[in-house]
A and B are shown apart, each in its own frame.
Chain A
Amino acid sequence: DTEVTQTPKHLVMGMTNKKSLKCEQHMGHRAMYWYKQKAKKPPELMFVYSYEKLSINESVPSRFSPECPNSSLLNLHLHALQPEDSALYLCASSQGDRPGQPQHFGDGTRLSIL
């Protein structure tokens, strides 16, 4: 069982909808991540939060908006997505006191854009 919990597991939305993906961890980790993964491709980093501050944005389009309300929670707000944004969205966390530590993934949200 994963210690990083993501909701919802599946999401279907239209291009004009607004929705949010949620991620929660209770391991005391201080770094949290959002990844996007397309079929048969590796995970691609989108955002990194370190101690609740955004530290990396990999030039992600503004229709994706991350939020870190506290050290245990990470949200990804979605608005006006495109069909090519359909993918598996993975949240991960690491201990966070320094870079280079292993990341632990949630089981993902499978997103389909109609």
Chain B
Amino acid sequence: GENVEQHPSTLSVQEGDSAVIKCTYSDSASNYFPWYKQELGKGPQLIIDIRSNVGEKKDQRIAVTLNKTAKHFSLHITETQPEDSAVYFCAATNALTTDSWGKLQFGAGTQVVVTP
């Protein structure tokens, strides 16, 4: 099955700097890669996702890049703000087969702390 590794486990950045979180996956058939943000005491919130037919996707200060050859994908947050402080999870799945659909394999998470 799919295995997703996420690095780093913790990330401290100064407000205004950029943050980058990297994930690698093992199953070359995976084709959907979402990122979730989880604030303390809340459920994970989908912030951006990318499908395997796209190399990069941006949404304001957030971007995700995908390298299918190397089997890794990254989350980039620019101009970080204190409200970006949270735990971020990457995930992967093959969304087009009934055996694996819905079975998101999550990374272990990255605690991001943005200091003013």
Pair from one complex: no
